[in-house]
Every structure is written in structure tokens, then in C-alpha cells.
């Protein structure tokens, strides 16, 4: 079957071609090579020869050179460019040169850890004589293997979560490992941004502190996808200087990038055919043409719904005398389920997969030829990562971006050349966020007492901010200061109460009670569980439907039972905001901005029932669950009567003011990811026609994590650019009075344009 010919026919098919906005061919690229460096152990060279590797790419050779000079390095090259060898070579060399040496590899997911173990086993196995014990140490590692890994593992593969909760708090059991630690590898470093990145930076501080206690000063090698500030991010993660390697020497097969805008079904209201429907059509057409495909659906519900639709449509379709098999892949799956799907993709038993961003990272899932991205994934960095999941084996590949009605998607469709011109976003972290820092100071104090000398040393892992946190913890009776040392004085185990990936560490376990099974089928963080696992919610897991019978938040359990219904559910969240402080004020053209601390209360009060296929609303239900409450950072945009924006709003009635603020807020929330490497869901928006605190119209833009992570502060610095982009998005949208693609369902296009007209 000629996949390239089938792809050309598909792109010219009248079912799709009228709505293809652009079909751009990115030409193939030749590799730029370098010979194996002098000094590289002959055993490693022999092992690489047997795998068909006879020379290095230039970026691999450059990382080797800098590592041998004792430098910390961050390498930034595209997906499937051989970054793994960048760190494997110096690490294996160090392990062979010194039989006591140790290395630590950190990956953001357990799936990546397993993938790397298989890769390393290929290099070190056989009769090459490397004889290096490689061990994975994560939450899936059986207890029987943990002691062996700890005592005799030369190269430990883990993740920040296990380092945080399992390794660092138990460092006395790891003396041999920490005493001889030579290299720390941090792969997929771009994943450590925002909240998680701020947590991980503190975990690295603790790791360096423990290593220094045992006399080790390891080097760092970091790998990242393309972002605008890789050197800055890497430096902030490890709190040390790094050398940047960003000249890519790997070859690339030709790739087609297709931007597709679903057809309008209501031109007046600007309503387009559903992105779920259109992405399903594309995936089915690609699979029928013999093109192995991954569809990125972004949310858990979309992933399961889209996979169900595709499997139903393909149930009677066969290629090469076998049925086309498609699986869903998302967070919350059990380890054996994840590995079964990954193996099926590599070996060809599974021809298609519908995934959240869980497969965006560099897991080896075989030779996929097409990726379909259903809606803008939150950042350009994510799009190119997801696009890069196709074509990893060379040859022709295609990536189809299907626009939703979201403002950023339609902004791209109305200016497709801008999409290709747009540079990668920056990634930001805030390791000194008071909430995050205090949590990790607790963990660090539990691991090793702080000394006054350490806190006064500007070169130490922690400094003045840690002193303030310790003073606060001493007042709370959690630590004790005596003899110029700060000691842990609480009975708790602090790392257990600190989650690196969400606001809370407490996941809800989902238990299937069907026919007395009483078996765990998945898990979900507590805030998401309140929105998706309420009583009478429909939970979809690998195509099966379950009805939620009980959500026990206190005991972190959810009981479900198999069901067969023709709808899925979606929770509706109500939000209330209270201003706590007014920290900084500034002017921004049409009004005044205030950076504040706010208290945000959110509660899921109702849910919708949405019919499969048509997605029509067929009913509502009530939810009775306690509210979530966080204190966070907020940027409040104020429109006083004397300001330019205030004068514009004064000419409108209350409904008009509400529509102007709602439309501007919708646009800001959806376009902000263009300026910051974040997801729209990381920011909350609330408009107030007459704000109870300030007494004038206000628009709240807040960070949806406790304490904030610097997103709102960075937005404040870029506000003028953001408002110009917001007005541009309104102007180029072809709708007449406003639509879901620009100002959203509650906005008014004319009112937003009047409010922002000074930015023309």
C-alpha cells in the first residue's frame, strides 16, 4: 500500500480540500555528521556499530565536548533528533571509566522511564562488555527490586515525583549512590514549566543539597524541545550556569503541515462543525488509507469520546485481513494498560491512538505516519511536539491541525502565515513562590537540618527566602531552631503532602463495582474528580461507559458501575473572587492594572448531559459537593470613569459593559498562551460590571494555582502587546456581531472593538 500516494489523494478529496486553509510541504533535510570523538570508550563505539550507528550528529558531538569540559549543558533540537545519545555517551563513559560512579536520569513520566530502560539495555546488553547495571526506580517498581536498584544500580532511571517522595527523604539508604553521583540527566526539560517546573526546581535544589552533603557535585545534562528561552529555563531549574547546544545535525524526512478549518454550519452565528467530529473524520480517512495515525484530543473526555466514535465507525472495516485497532491513551490509566498500548503501537498491532498530551513527549511508539491535532494544544511548542510524533522513522509524514471555534484557533486560520512565522514561546517558573518554596523547605529540613551558615551563604541551594519560610514554620511548631541549626520537629512525613503536578497531593481512586469486581481502573486528582466524577456522571475508560454511584472525597474513593447510555456528562463550575491585597498599580493605556492576592472559591453546582454524536444538550442535573478554595495571584484590569476604557464603557448600559468585558476576557484567556508557555486552563477569568471591591467595572485574570506561579506578573509586563493581539483577533474574524471564534458566547464584537480601539 503506497501511503504517500494515498495521502495525496486524501488531501485532494472533495470532502476535505475545500476547507484546507494551507497545505505546506516542509522539505527533507540532510544530516550533518561528526566522527566519534577521541577518548570515547571503544566498547561504546562497538556497541553503537552493532546498532548501525557509525558517526554522530553534530549536536551529539558538541554535547560530548562540553560535558568532557565539566560544563552543564542544555540541548535543544526537534523530536526524534537523537537527543538520547547526547546524554548516554558521557554518562556511559563516566560509568566505564570509574566503577564506583553513578548517574541519575529523570523523566517527567513513568512511560518515558520504561522507554529509556529499553534503549539503554540495547546499548549495554550482549557481549559488548559494558556490564553496567541499569535500574528503573519509580512507583511501578516492585518492592523486591527496589533494594537491589538502590544498592547496586549504577544508572538509576526515575522521575521527579519518586525523587521527591521516595529517594530524597530516604537518602541515608542511598549513601553509596549519592556519594558517587557524576551526572544528572533531565530529559524533556520544557515540560517543567509553571507550577510543576517551580516544584521540580525545588526538588533539584534538595537533590544538590543532599549530594553535596555526601561530597558529590554532579554535572547536569538537560534536553528540551524548542522553546524561546531554553538556557534561562535550564539555568533556573538547576540554579547553575548552562551551555546551550541548539544546532541540529539530524536528518528529517519531508512533512506536510495541513491547517484545516471545519466548515460553517451557521454563518450568522459563526458556528462551525465540531472539532471532535472533524478530527474523527480525518483519522478514519487516514487509517482507511493505510496511514498509521495519532489523534491528539487534549482532554480526557474528548479522548475517550473520539476513540469510541472512531472504533464504532471502523468496526466493519478491515485492512490486510485484519480489523483496524484504535486505542485511547490518557492520564489515569493503570501501568499495565499504558505499556500494552505502547507495545501495540511499536509492534503494529494497534494502527491508531487517540491521546491527550500524554504521548506528546518522546516515548517510542513506532512508525506513525500522521498526527491529527484537534484544536490548538495551548502552545506552539506543544503543536510542533505533537506534529513530530509522526514521521519519526523517516519518509513522508503529515500533520493536520484542525481548528476549533476558540479565538486562538481562528486567529491562526485567518492568518496562516503568522502560524509559520511565530517563534516558540518562553517557559517560566517561579521556584521562590512562597507556597511551593515553603513546602520544599519543609521537605529539605526533614532530609537534612539547615544551618545558619548555609542560609547566609549566597552560593548555597537555599538563601534568604528559605530563612523566612523557616521562621514561619518555627512559629507553627513544625521546625525548631537550636545550636545554629534548624531541625524538623513534626511527626509528619512532609513529602507525602506535597504534589509536584497539582494543587493537592490527594488523588481519587476509581473503583469498578460491576458484578462484584471491586477493582481499581484508574485515578484522578481531587479538583478534576469534583468536575468529572460526581454522582450520576458518566465516566469513560478505554471505550467502556461507567456510571458514578458514589464520590467519597474524604476517603479519596469513587465507586462506578458499567452502564450503557447515549450521552456523556460535563460539570458546570461557579466561581467567586475576593480581593485580599493590592500590591502594585500601573497604567496601561485604557485603564489601570492592579496586581493582587485574591481568594478564589469554585464549586461544581450542575452538570450537562450531552448526547453522543450530536452533542446536543439533553438535560441537567444537580451536584452537591464542597467548594474548592485557593489563595492566588491576580491581575485586575480596572476601568475608572476618567480612564479611556472607562469612558467607553460609560456609554454602554450594564448589558453592554458585561458583553465588552466578557468578550475581552475570553480573547485574553485564549490568546495569552501565544505570549506565555501555558495552557488557557492555567488562567482564570472573571468579569465584574460593577466590582464589589473596587466599585467600578473590572476584569480579573488570575493564576489557577495556590500562591500563583508568575503567570499574571508576566502578563502584566506584556499587557499592551496582548491587548493589541486581542483587537487584531476581533478585527480579522469574518463574523458580523461576534461568535465563538472571537468574543465567545457572552461577548459582543462591537463593544470589544470600541473598548480596545486605541490599540489600532
66-86 pLDDT, tens digit each = 999 999 999 998 877 889 999
Fold entry, domain 3-24+252-421: Rossmann fold (3.40.50)
Neighbours of 408 (CB within 10 A): 23
For the chain, domain boundaries = 3-24+252-421, 33-245, 449-497, 507-565, 576-604+629-759
Cα–Cα distances in angstroms (integers) from residue 199 to residues 10, 57, 126, 502, 503, in the given order: 45, 33, 39, 10, 11
SS3 of 56, please? Answer: strand
Alpha carbons within 13 A on the beta-carbon side of 502: 11
CA distance 578 to 692: 9
DSSP 491: S
With a cut of 70, list the residues of the chain below it in pLDDT: 1-3, 110-111, 114, 124-129, 269, 318-321, 360-367, 392-394, 502-506, 673-674, 676-680, 740-741, 745, 759-760
Give the integer Cα–Cα distance in Å for 739 and 755.
17
Is there a common fold for 3-24+252-421 and 33-245?
yes
- Residue 241 φ then ψ, to 5°: -70, 145
User: Can you give the pLDDT at residue 362?
Assistant: 61
Which of 221, 86, 106 lies closest to 155 in space, CA to CA?
106
Q: Which CATH number fits domain 33-245: 3.30.450.20, 3.40.50.300, 3.30.428.10, 3.30.1360.30?
A: 3.40.50.300
| Helix/strand/coil (H/E/C) assignment for every residue in 344-382 | HHHHCCCCEEEECHHHCCCCCCCCCCEEEEECCCCCHHH
**pTM flag (> 0.75):** yes
Alpha helices, H only, 429-506: 434-447, 452-456, 464-475
What pLDDT shows up at residue 563? 92
Q: Any residues with CB less than 8 A from the CB of 87 and at least 6 apart, and which?
A: 63, 105, 183, 185, 187, 221, 223
What string of DSSP letters covers 568-634?
Answer: EEEEEEEEEEEEEEEEEEEE-SSSEEEEEEEEEEEEEEEEEEEETTT--EEEEEE---PPEEEEEEE
- Listing DSSP states for 275-334 in one string gives HHHHHHHHHHHHHHTT--EEEE--SHHHHHHHHHHHHHHTTT-EETTEE--EEEE-TT--
Q: How far apart are the first and last CA of the chain?
A: 53
pLDDT of residue 392: 59
Residue 518: C-alpha distances to residues 140, 553, 557, 688 (Å): 21, 18, 12, 47
- Regarding beta strands 397-402 and 255-260, do their DSSP bridges make them parallel or antiparallel, or are they unpaired? parallel
pLDDT at 128: 54
Q: How far apart are the C-alpha atoms of 442 and 426, rounded to whole Å?
A: 30
Amino acid at each position: 500500500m503506497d501511503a504517500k500516494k494515498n495521502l495525496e489523494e486524501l488531501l485532494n478529496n472533495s470532502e476535505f480540500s475545500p476547507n484546507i486553509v494551507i497545505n505546506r510541504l516542509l522539505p527533507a533535510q540532510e544530516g550533518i555528521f561528526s566522527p566519534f570523538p577521541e577518548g570515547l570508550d571503544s566498547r561504546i563505539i562497538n556497541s553503537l556499530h552493532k546498532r548501525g550507528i557509525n558517526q554522530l550528529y553534530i549536536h551529539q558531538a558538541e554535547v560530548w565536548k562540553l560535558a568532557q569540559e565539566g560544563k552543564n549543558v542544555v540541548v535543544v533540537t526537534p523530536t526524534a533528533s537523537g537527543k538520547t545519545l547526547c546524554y548516554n555517551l558521557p554518562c556511559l563513559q563516566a560509568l566505564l571509566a570509574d566503577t564506583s560512579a553513578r548517574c541519575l536520569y529523570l523523566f517527567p513520566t513513568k512511560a518515558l522511564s520504561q522507554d529509556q530502560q529499553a534503549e539503554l539495555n540495547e546499548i549495554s546488553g550482549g557481549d559488548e562488555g559494558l556490564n553496567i547495571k541499569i535500574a528503573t526506580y519509580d512507583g511501578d517498581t516492585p518492592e523486591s527490586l527496589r533494594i537491589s536498584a538502590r544498592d547496586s544500580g549504577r544508572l538509576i532511571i526515575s522521575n521527579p515525583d519518586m525523587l521527591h517522595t521516595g529517594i530524597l527523604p530516604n537518602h541515608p539508604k542511598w549513601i553509596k549512590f549519592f556519594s558517587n553521583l557524576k551526572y544528572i540527566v533531565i530529559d524533556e526539560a520544557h515540560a517543567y514549566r509553571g507550577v510543576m517546573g517551580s516544584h521540580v526546581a525545588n526538588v533539584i535544589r534538595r537533590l544538590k543539597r543532599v549530594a553535596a552533603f555526601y561530597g558529590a557535585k554532579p554535572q547536569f545534562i538537560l534536553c528540551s524541545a524548542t522553546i524561546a528561552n531554553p538556557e534561562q529555563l535550564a539555568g533556573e531549574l538547576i540554579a547553575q550556569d548552562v551551555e546551550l547546544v541548539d544546532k541540529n545535525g539530524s536528518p528529517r524526512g519531508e512533512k506536510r503541515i495541513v491547517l484545516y478549518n471545519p466548515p460553517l454550519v451557521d454563518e450568522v452565528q459563526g458556528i462551525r462543525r465540531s472539532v471532535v467530529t472533524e478530527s474523527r473524520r480525518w483519522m478514519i480517512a487516514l487509517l482507511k488509507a493505510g496511514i498509521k495515525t495519532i489523534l491528539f484530543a487534549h482532554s480526557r473526555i474528548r479522548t475517550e469520546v473520539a476513540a469510541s466514535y472512531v472504533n464504532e465507525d471502523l468496526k466493519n472495516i478491515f485492512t490486510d485481513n485484519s480489523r483496524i485497532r484504535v486505542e485511547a491513551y490518557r492520564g489515569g490509566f493503570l501501568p499495565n494498560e499504558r505499556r500494552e498500548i505502547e507495545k501495540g503501537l511499536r509492534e503494529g498491532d494497534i494502527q491508531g491512538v487517540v491521546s491527550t498530551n500524554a504521548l506528546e513527549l518522546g516515548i517510542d511508539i513506532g512508525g506513525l505516519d500522521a498526527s491529527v491535532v484537534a484544536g490548538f494544544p495551548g502552545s506552539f511548542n506543544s503543536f510542533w511536539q505533537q506534529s513530530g510524533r509522526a514521521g519519526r522513522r523517516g519518509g513522508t509524514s503529515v500533520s493536520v491541525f484542525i481548528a476549533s471555534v476558540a479565538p486562538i484557533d481562528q486567529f491562526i486560520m485567518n492568518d496562516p502565515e503568522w502560524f509559520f512565522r511565530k517563534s516558540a514561546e518562553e517557559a517560566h517558573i517561579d521556584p521562590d513562590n512562597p507556597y511551593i518554596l515553603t513546602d520544599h523547605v519543609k521537605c529539605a529540613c526533614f532530609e537534612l537540618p539547615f544551618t545558619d551558615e548555609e542560609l547566609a551563604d549566597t552560593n548555597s541551594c537555599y538563601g534568604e527566602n528559605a530563612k523566612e519560610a523557616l521562621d514561619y514554620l518555627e512559629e507553627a511548631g513544625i521546625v525548631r531552631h537550636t545550636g545554629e541549626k534548624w531541625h524538623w520537629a513534626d511527626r509528619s512525613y512532609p513529602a507525602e503532602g506535597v504534589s509536584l503536578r497539582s494543587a493537592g497531593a490527594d488523588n481519587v481512586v476509581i473503583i469498578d463495582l460491576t458484578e462484584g469486581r471491586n477493582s481499581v481502573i484508574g485515578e484522578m486528582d481531587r479538583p478534576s474528580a469534583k468536575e468529572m466524577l460526581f454522582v450520576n456522571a458518566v465516566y469513560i475508560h478505554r471505550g467502556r461507559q461507567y456510571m458514578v454511584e458514589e464520590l467519597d472525597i474524604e476517603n479519596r474513593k469513587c465507586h462506578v458501575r458499567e452502564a450503557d447510555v447515549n450521552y456523556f456528562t460535563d460539570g458546570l463550575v461557579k466561581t467567586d473572587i475576593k480581593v485580599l491585597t493590592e500590591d502594585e498599580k500601573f497604567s496601561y493605556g485604557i485603564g489601570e492594572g492592579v496586581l493582587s492576592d485574591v481568594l478564589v472559591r469554585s464549586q461544581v453546582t450542575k452538570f450537562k448531559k450531552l448526547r453522543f454524536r450530536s452533542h446536543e444538550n439533553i438535560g441537567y442535573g444537580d451536584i452537591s459537593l464542597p467548594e474548592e478554595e485557593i489563595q492566588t495571584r491576580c491581575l485586575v484590569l480596572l476601568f475608572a470613569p476618567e480612564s479611556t476604557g472607562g469612558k467607553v464603557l460609560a456609554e454602554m448600559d450594564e448589558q453592554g459593559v458585561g458583553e465588552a468585558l466578557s468578550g475581552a476576557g475570553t480573547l485574553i484567556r485564549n490568546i495569552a498562551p501565544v505570549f506565555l508557555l501555558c495552557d488557557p486552563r492555567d488562567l482564570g477569568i472573571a468579569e465584574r460590571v460593577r466590582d464589589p471591591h473596587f466599585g467600578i467595572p473590572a476584569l480579573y485574570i488570575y493564576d489557577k494555582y495556590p500562591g500563583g506561579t508568575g503567570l499574571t506578573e508576566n502578563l502584566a509586563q506584556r499587557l499592551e502587546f496582548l491587548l493589541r493581539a486581542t483587537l487584531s483577533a476581533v478585527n480579522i474574524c469574518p463574523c458580523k456581531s461576534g461568535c465563538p471564534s472571537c468574543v465567545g458566547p457572552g461577548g459582543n464584537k462591537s463593544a470589544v472593538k470600541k473598548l480596545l480601539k486605541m490599540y489600532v
